[in-house]
Structure 1
Amino acid sequence: MTDSCAFCGSTRPLTREHVFGQWVSKIGLDLSPVRHIAGPLNGVPRDMGEQPPYRQTVKDFCSSCNNGWMSRLEDTARRVLSPIILGEPGAISTQDQPVIAVWAQKTALTAMLLSSKEQRSRGYGLPKSVYTMFYDCQSRMEPLGGSRFWVGQYEGKLGFAAIHVTPLAVRIPGIAELDRPQCYAVTIVLGKLALHGLVFTTPALEIDVTMSLGIPQIWPPQGPVRWPTGQPCTEAMFQHLANGKMLGSAVESVELQPWTPAIDLPRSVIVDGKVHVPALCGKHSYCYPAVILAEALRGRFYAFATGCACPQAYLIQTEADAAHCKAIGAAEGISDMYEALPGTEVVIHEEAGLFVCKRLPVVPAG
């Protein structure tokens, strides 16, 4: 963004705004320091170090926005969401539902500004026009046009908080994927609260959607909502939800899927019995024995630690569809994460030496 307010465009002096309102750190959540990262879904994130949670700020909004409508938004969010975040039964009235949807979008748009200037110069983030349109909507206290939002319960690691924005594409048979996303999935996890939403930014391609998690919709409102209701989002399900893969098209022959350039790396290749995979840094690759890929096709999955010349270390796990990077960071930390994984260590003999990995325990179906 420029030196003008990201929302209203004012050139008045900019002020700092918390990504999560200051009230979040005062309601009884664990404030132990945790690692913070921000950045693209398929690239090396910006490492902001280990620090107490809920204190990250950006300096992109004028005092009029920050101390006016944004402050009033946080007041309502604190009243409505505090018990839910702490896991206490609660409710969201029909009148409060649009405000919570607006809060979720404001929080996500603010979080996107945590990325580095270099990342944004390469196209990361949402267009400035989305911020302007959002500002135009706030006077009505309604989210952006073409939005849907659901509220659910998160059951996962204590102290986990995340804000994900995933570009999505509306795919029509016979038409190539467009050069820009047509909508965005927004996912916020905070304590026991899970908010999931969708906003179409190409009105001509707005479609009816389904939500497979079975949690209540809060925008457009369908009546008062009791919490918790519906299937909880577990730690194992979170990435699937955040990637927009629990959203579907309600229109026959039309698909709603993650926008390929935002989530995919160039395809891996098999050379001399090894799978060569582009690393998240975008400059290097890592490799693993092709036998592990064959094992994945049989439902047997492995984890291993590897690295590239940046230097970056990666924790990789094979799954049914591909090998996925589960963590990135310093070699010592990645090694500790690998050692902590359950499973049986396996040594594979290769011409170049030994490849050490862990066969992961089978997770029972259902």
Structure 2
Amino acid sequence: MTKKCVFCGRSHPVVQFSREHVLPAWLSREITLTKHCSYSNQLKGKDLVERNINGQSPFTMTVNKVCRICNNGWMSERLESPVKEILMALIEGRKIVLNDEKKLLISLWSIKTALMRGLIDSEGDPAIMSHYEDIYKLKIPVNTFIWLVNTAPGYSLVSTRHMRFISNENPHKNLSQTNCVAYYTSINIGCLSIQILASKSKDLITDFNVELFNSYLSSCSEELWPIQEKPIYWPLRDCIYTDPRMIMDGVIRHDPLLKINNHVGKQK
């Protein structure tokens, strides 16, 4: 089978392929890490399959399914370069106001990164496949929800976590032939945790405990997409000071065990 770029669909010899980082290389030069963790989980029917990727950190994970034209073109020029200053302010917990333009830019970057993260797992669809074309067109896919969560200042963990939800219509079907109907990605860097939830159908969203962001995490999270009318003032009023990867567990398993640190946003 001819290898094709997951975003633009072009193949060799029209395009050449290069190894593209899941988290951009520029970010690794900005952040000093004391701990590396990366998890990739998959839910097939009712069985949870854990896949830990040994020997790789979030900054060393690369995929070879993106062409050089996409890598050095729109991904770099339209996303990475414009988002850098905004993203670093969020990561470092510096004051910044996110208007609609900045919200859109961060949302596009977040989904692109989630789709790249999905490519690490080689079995079955890495995510909803039509979303790759949507992001190539710089379009937010329908039924996509993104939240920003303020994590504790000085939290040095950098982690990514990707979970795919697969149709269980044929439980005996080979995993490599299954279709992804929803995915949930968590990107945690410094003071910033980005939670991305997307599905083929809006009805599937009701299977997740998204009310966690409006209730338990209401003071330390903001909905980034769909865009709300008000701007986002960062840092937020409160933050979480336990492992932000537990947020995904709360949304999926309805069992939040997070601790909230009050009024971090009021600190100078």
Alignment deviations for residues 313-337 of structure 1 (CA, whole Å, 9 cap, x no partner): xxxxxxx99xxxxxxxxxxxxxxxx
**Corresponding residue number in structure 2 for 1:25:** 28
Question: What's 1:226 paired with?
Answer: 233
Deviation of the 1:220 alpha carbon? 2.0
Identify if the C-alpha distance between structure 1 residues 182 and 55 changes in structure 2 by more than 3 Å, giving closer, same or farther: closer
2:142 aligns with 145
Report what 1:9 is aligned to. Answer: 9
Cα offset, 1:39, TM superposition:
5.0
Compared with structure 1, are the counterparts of its residues 35 and 26 closer, same or farther at alpha carbon in structure 2 (3 Å cutoff)? same
Structure 2 residue runs of 5 or longer lacking an equivalent are 170-178, 260-268
2:125 aligned with 1:128: no
| C-alpha distance 237-96 of structure 1, shift in aligned 2 (>3 A) | closer
Deviation for aligned residue 1:153: 1.0
**Match for residue 100 of structure 2?**
94
Q: CA RMSD in A?
A: 3.4
- DSSP 3-state at the match of 1:84: helix
Aligned to 1:58: 63
Shift in alpha-carbon separation, 1:78–1:40, aligned structure 2, 3 A: same
- Work out whether residues 93 and 224 of structure 1, in 8 Å CA contact, stay in contact via their aligned partners in 2: yes
Q: Secondary structure at the match of 1:126?
A: coil
Deviations 1:10-40 (A, max 9, x none): 102212211111221222x214574555454
Structure 2 residue 115 is the aligned partner of structure 1 residue 109? yes
Q: Distance in 1 between matches of 2:102 and 2:131?
A: 23
8 Å contact kept, 2:146–2:195:
yes
Letter in 2 for 1:226: Y
Letter paired with 1:161:
V
Normalising by structure 1, report the TM-score: 0.54
1:251-262 matches, cutoff 5 A: none
Mapping for residues 268-347 of structure 1, pairs under 5 Å: none
Are the counterparts in 2 of residues 153 and 228 from structure 1 also a CA contact under 8 Å?
Answer: yes
Normalised by the size of structure 2, how large is the TM-score? 0.72
Aligned to 2:242: 235
1:79 matches 2:78: no
Aligned residues: 232
Q: Identity of counterpart residues, as a percentage?
A: 26
Task: Extract unaligned runs of 5+ from structure 1.
Answer: 170-176, 247-256, 259-319, 322-362
C-alpha separation between the residues in 1 aligned to 2:56 and 2:67? 28
- Would you tell me which structure has more strand in proportion to its own residues? 1
| Letter of the structure 2 residue corresponding to residue 202 of structure 1 | S
User: 1: CA distance between counterparts of 2:128 and 2:199?
Assistant: 13
As a proportion of its length, which structure holds more helix?
A: 2
Secondary structure at the residue paired with 2:8? coil
When residues 201 and 157 of structure 1 are mapped into structure 2, their CA distance, relative to the original with a 3 A threshold, is: farther
Change (3 A) 1:40 1:178: closer
CA distance in 1, matches of 2:26, 2:144: 26
